[in-house]
């Protein structure tokens, strides 16, 4: 059985793998939860506004690289920022 973990990235951390599932309306804030599988594990990533927009470009089965690049001030709040690369040919 493949183990699962949640991603708690530091700036410039990245993960790569296959996008295998999106679960919607999860938790206290009805967030999206994205699941990326690599060779060792399934990594769960909580959706954020900017990340949700990026992940709308991805289809189940796509191989991706997701990089956390830090935060940006938006309306007096810190918004987490990500970069996405889709590796499919």
Q: How confident is the model at residue 2 (pLDDT cuts 50, 70, 90)?
A: confident
DSSP string over 20-80: EEEEEEETTTTEEEEEEE-SSEEEEEE--HHHHHHHTT--TT-EEEEEEEEEEEETTEEEE
pLDDT at 33 over 90: yes
Q: Name the residue with higher pLDDT: 88 or 10.
A: 10
pLDDT at 39 over 70: yes
Q: How confident is the model at residue 77, as a pLDDT?
A: 86
- Which pLDDT tens digit goes with each residue over 58-76? 999 999 999 999 998 888 8
Q: How confident is the model at residue 47, as a pLDDT?
A: 94
């Amino acid at each position: 059985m493949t183990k699962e973990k949640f991603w708690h990235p530091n700036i410039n951390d990245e993960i790569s793998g296959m996008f295998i599932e999106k679960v919607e309306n999860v938790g206290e804030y009805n967030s999206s939860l994205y699941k990326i599988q690599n060779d060792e594990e399934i990594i769960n990533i909580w959706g954020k506004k900017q990340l949700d927009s990026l992940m709308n470009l991805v289809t189940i089965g796509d191989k991706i690289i997701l990089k956390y690049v830090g935060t940006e001030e938006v309306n007096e709040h810190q918004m987490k920022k990500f970069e996405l690369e889709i590796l499919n040919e």
